[in-house]
Amino acid sequence: MEPFIKIKSIATPLNKVNVDTDQIIPKQFLKLVQKTGFGKYLFYDWRYEKDGTIKKDFVLNEPRYKDSKILLARDNFGCGSSREHAAWALLDFGFRAVLSTSFADIFYNNCFKNGILPIKLSEQVLQKLFESRSDIEIDLEKQTITNDDAIIFFDIESHWKRILLEGLDDIAVTLQYDNAISKYENTQRSSSLRVS
């Protein structure tokens, strides 16, 4: 996983509440058996007309956001299906951070697992970012979001901060607890109430 240290770019404002993962990546694109190549299908039904031409009025299609690494979103972003393809599509498209007031639980988790930083902000702070046109810099080590107007501090769980900063393999980290897992299993095995 590519480490996340510092990024700077214009932020793409997606001004819509309750964006579900069916919108982020529609089901017809879930049939791929690899993790790459989903970017071209991101927000497919919002980005393209039926005949495959680009919908000019959809924000992701505006030329100024072409190289954006940061997505501004609204309440309950990523709700619905657990499909991690949503995170893969955002990453493949170029997004490394999503800023919102709230995220659905599974999507939130899926972001970290793929090196995307989801940041929860207050309504007021987020609104200011929606209204600003300047580039945004996100510094994970310092936990700051900086633009022309302000420096904003954000919270992140220490575990996820480390995973992202170092680009760690989550499973390798857990396997360091192998003894504890075996101990749990042995206790189960010797129990008359064993279910696992």
Partner 1 sequence: MAKTLFEKIWDSHVVEEGNGRSLLYIDRHLVHEVTSPQAFDGLRMNKRNIRRTDLTFATMDHNVPTSDRSLPILDQTSEVQIKTLERNCKEFGVKLFDINSPDQGIVHVIGPELGITLPGTTIVCGDSHTSTHGAFGAFAFGIGTSDVEHVLATQCIWMEKPRTFEIRVEGKRKNIHAITAKDIILSIIRKIGTAGGTGTTFEYRGETISELSMEQRMTICNMSIEGGARAGLIAPDEKTFDYLRGRRYVPKNYEKLVEYWRENLKTDSNARFDKSFTLHVDTIAPQVSWGTNPAMTVDVTGKVPFPEEYAKGNTEEEKAATKALQYMGLKSGTLITDIEIDRVFIGSCTNSRLEDLTEAARAVKGKKVSSKVRAMIVPGSQHVKKQAEELGLDGIFKDAGFEWRESGCSMCLGMNPDILSAGERCASTSNRNFEGRQGSGGRTHLVSPVMAAVAAIQGHFVDVRDLDLN
Site residues (vs partner 1, CB under 8 A): 16-18, 20, 22-23, 26-28, 30-35, 45, 50, 74-76, 79-84, 87, 102, 104-106, 109-110, 113-114, 157-159, 169-172, 174-175, 177, 180-181, 184-185, 188, 192-196
Shortest Å distance, C-beta 71 to partner 1: 16
190 - beta bridge partners?
none
> Closest Cα partner for 113 from 173, 48, 66, 27?
173
Helix axis angle, 85-93 to 105-113, nearest 10°: 50
Smallest gap from Cβ 134 to partner 1, in A, equals 23
Amino acid letter, residue 6: K
Q: What's the min distance (Å) between Cβ of 178 and partner 1? A: 8
Q: Give 61 or 120: the residue with its C-beta nearer to partner 1.
A: 120
How many CB atoms are located within 10 Å of the residue 5 CB? 13
In the beta sheet, which residues pair with residue 153? 144
Q: How far is the CB of 31 from partner 1 (least distance, A)?
A: 4
Contacts of 118 (CB under 8 A, 6+ apart): 97, 98, 99, 100, 103, 107, 108, 111, 112
Nearer to partner 1, 80 or 94 (CB): 80
